[in-house]
């Protein structure tokens, strides 16, 4: 008995018992099995999270659907890099995670795609027979829209002469606009001031004092039509005008917009008021039509022509009519500096007492764009 016991507890060379060796081997085998199971599970999870695109020729591409736009799907594969195929070649599509889907009508939703069936993109959570027509998908994972930015210009004009007559004039013109896919905001402002002084008599004569501005909001209804709201105010001392104010609503239509030429036409109704500086003259208030068009043409990369007309014929009084027409030629001097020459005519069919119907102005300006 003593000999058998000694045999079972015999010590292996190096001081290890046989039982310890067997136990260590079993532990190592169990660890290998566990690691193998973890690896298999990890691979399964990785495959599950990957997107899968099946092509009409039987090929299956695994990876990530980067985007779908203009009828082409781009898949990013770890083995093949970016693969781009026509959507017409795709017979099945599955995504491991949610993707952003944008329809042709502009609707956006975020869902996981579980396949294509009967030309429908089946989405996770849809009832049987649900989904979206593949032909109605405009984009998958569309790029984020850039934040809208304001663009415009600030221009100045100035004149100073001395001698028998001292002449001073200064002016500032500002315009800015911001556009998105849904709407457009336009603002502008003007200020002009000028005097002539006879140095012999020290008599100073006011030659110009005008200030005004406007704001316009356009809401796009579709590719061509838009609804609009507009307001404008102007004061002109030499025209005896304390305030001319218009505010109204209307519709506009984009006739041309090809990147070189833009032509807009607008019509609507406006509240129109003229308040005079001279005491005793009654203010004129009326409801008017507002008829307008704006033409912009890029003559060259540096030079642009703008011509716009805005007319307010009164609905209540056929003789009451106001119109402003502006023609401006602007050219770039540097990346941010511009020069322009503009002709403006203000025509009022019922001006203040002793004033003319038309005011014509030609301005040479230098300014900066942003």
Query: Tokens at residue 300, please?
Result: 């060259």
Q: What is the mean pLDDT of residues 277-281?
A: 77
Query: Which of 30-39, 50-59, 104-113, 289-298 has the lowest average pLDDT?
Result: 30-39
Residue 3 has pLDDT above 60, yes or no: no
In 56-150 the beta strands, taken as DSSP E runs, fall at 60-69, 72-77, 81-86, 90-94, 99-103, 108-111, 113-117, 120-123, 132-133, 137-140
**Closest C-alpha among 44, 60, 40, 42 to residue 52:** 60
Integer angstrom CA distances of residue 255 from 261, 264, 279, 290? 10, 6, 45, 18
- Classify residue 367 by burial, with Cβ atoms within 10 Å: 0-12, 13-18, 19+: buried
The model's pLDDT over 218-229, given as tens digits with 9 standing for 90+, comes to 999 998 999 999
Residue 245 has pLDDT above 90, yes or no: yes
Q: What is the mean pLDDT of residues 339-347?
A: 97
Enumerate residues 6+ apart whose C-beta is below 8 A from 344: 324, 325, 326, 360, 361, 362, 363
**Closest C-alpha among 68, 63, 64 to residue 90:** 68
- Residue 201 pLDDT level (bands cut at 50, 70, 90): confident
> Which pTM value belongs to this model?
0.67
Residue 354 has pLDDT above 50, yes or no: yes
Residue 317 has pLDDT above 50, yes or no: yes
Mean pLDDT, the chain, rounded, equals: 87
CB atoms within 10 A of CB 338: 20
Share of the chain above pLDDT 90, in %: 59
Enumerate residues 6+ apart whose C-beta is below 8 A from 106: 138
Integer angstrom CA distances of residue 12 from 3, 9, 15, 20, 26? 16, 9, 6, 10, 18
Q: Are 77 and 83 in contact (CB under 8 A)?
A: yes
Q: Which residue segments constitute the domains of the chain, with CATH numbers given?
A: 51-140 (no CATH), 151-369 (2.40.160.40)
pLDDT score, position 144: 77
């Amino acid at each position: 008995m003593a000999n058998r016991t000694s045999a079972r507890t015999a010590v292996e060379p190096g001081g290890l018992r046989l039982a310890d060796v067997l136990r260590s081997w079993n532990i190592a085998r169990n660890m290998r099995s566990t690691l193998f199971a973890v690896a298999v599970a990890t691979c399964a999870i990785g495959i599950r999270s990957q997107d899968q695109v099946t092509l009409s020729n039987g090929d299956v591409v695994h990876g990530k659907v980067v985007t779908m736009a203009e009828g082409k799907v781009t898949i990013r594969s770890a083995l093949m890099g970016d693969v781009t195929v026509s959507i017409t070649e795709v017979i099945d599509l599955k995504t491991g995670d949610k993707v952003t889907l944008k329809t042709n009508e502009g609707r956006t939703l975020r869902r996981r795609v579980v396949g294509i069936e009967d030309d429908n993109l089946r989405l996770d959570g849809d009832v049987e027979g649900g989904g979206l027509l593949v032909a109605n998908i405009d984009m998958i994972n569309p790029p984020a829209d850039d934040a809208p930015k304001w663009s415009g210009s600030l221009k100045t004009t100035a004149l100073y002469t001395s001698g028998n007559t001292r002449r001073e004039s200064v002016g500032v013109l500002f315009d800015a606009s911001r556009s998105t896919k849904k709407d457009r905001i336009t603002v502008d402002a003007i200020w002009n001031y000028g005097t002539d002084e006879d140095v012999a008599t020290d008599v100073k004569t006011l030659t110009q004092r005008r200030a005004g501005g406007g704001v316009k909001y356009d809401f796009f209804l579709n590719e061509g039509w838009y609804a609009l709201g507009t307001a404008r105010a102007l004061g002109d001392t030499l025209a005896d005008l304390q305030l001319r104010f218009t505010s109204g609503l209307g519709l506009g239509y984009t006739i041309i917009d090809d990147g070189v030429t833009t032509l807009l036409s607008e019509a609507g109704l406006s509240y129109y008021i003229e308040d005079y500086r001279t005491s005793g003259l009654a203010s004129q208030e009326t409801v008017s039509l507002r008829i307008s068009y704006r033409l912009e043409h890029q003559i060259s990369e540096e030079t642009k022509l703008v011509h716009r007309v805005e007319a307010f014929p009164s609905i209540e009084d056929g003789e009451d009519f106001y119109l402003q027409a502006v023609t401006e030629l602007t050219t770039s001097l540097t990346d941010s500096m511009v020069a322009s020459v503009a002709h403006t005519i203000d025509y009022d069919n019922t001006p203040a007492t002793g004033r003319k119907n038309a005011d014509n102005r030609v301005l040479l300006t230098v300014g900066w764009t942003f």
